[in-house]
């Protein structure tokens, strides 16, 4: 789905997370950033993915990764989702789909014979210099964090 590939400059991010904290990629230079896009808070696949990152959060942090989730849900839904599942990382409410479109994860989806526009579940790892280092287009919801850990083993 995405047009981005390894070595490309990561599109800029300038947003507030679900707690109102400012997040920019520039402020995260020098760190590896796992930027994961997911369709909707509190749905089975999205919950499994978020909990995968939560469960491996310490290991990911120890390896120098920052985790950021992005969906089109609003701040209120993100707060409820983060509180319900004790998520220790920021979620960006991208209701205007600026980041979602910049990363090319919005598009036609098919489910049970129906076609509609939505967010494709994709994960990007951005290196310390702000370049795309890894793109995962076939995310395994229950093992999303393991996909990152294995790729950087």
The reply to whether 9 falls in a domain is no
Give me the domain span that covers residue 102.
14-151
pLDDT value for 1: 61
pLDDT digit string (tens) for 98-123?
999 999 999 998 878 889 899 999 99
The reply to whether 91 falls in a domain is yes
The reply to whether 53 falls in a domain is yes
Q: List the catalytic residues.
A: 46
pLDDT digit string (tens) for 40-56?
999 999 999 999 999 99
The reply to whether 4 falls in a domain is no
CATH (domain of 45): 3.40.30.10
The answer for residues whose C-beta is within 8 angstroms of residue 67's C-beta and 6 or more apart is 33, 34, 36, 53, 57, 60, 89, 90
The reply to whether 126 falls in a domain is yes
Nearest alpha carbon to residue 72 among 22, 10, 119: 119
Prediction pTM value? 0.95
The reply to whether 72 falls in a domain is yes
DSSP lists the bridge partners of residue 15 as: 23
Q: How sure is the predictor about 90, in pLDDT bands with cuts at 50, 70 and 90?
A: very high
Q: How far is CA 118 from the centre of its chain?
A: 15
How many domains does the chain divide into?
1
The reply to whether 69 falls in a domain is yes
CB 147 within 8 A of CB 139: yes
């Amino acid at each position: 789905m995405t047009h981005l590939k390894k070595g490309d400059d990561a599109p800029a991010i300038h947003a507030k997370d679900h707690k109102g904290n400012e997040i920019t990629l520039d402020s995260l230079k020098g760190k590896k950033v796992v930027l994961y896009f997911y369709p909707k808070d509190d749905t089975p696949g999205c919950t499994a993915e978020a909990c995968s990152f939560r469960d491996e959060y310490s290991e990911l942090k120890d390896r120098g990764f920052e985790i950021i989730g992005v969906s089109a849900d609003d701040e209120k839904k993100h707060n409820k989702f983060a509180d319900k599942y004790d998520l220790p990382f920021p979620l960006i409410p991208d209701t205007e789909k600026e980041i979602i479109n910049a990363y090319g994860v919005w598009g036609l989806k098919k489910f049970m014979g129906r076609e509609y526009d939505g967010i494709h579940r994709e994960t990007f790892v951005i290196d310390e210099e702000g370049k795309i280092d890894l793109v995962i287009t076939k995310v395994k919801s229950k093992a999303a964090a393991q996909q990152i850990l294995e790729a950087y083993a």
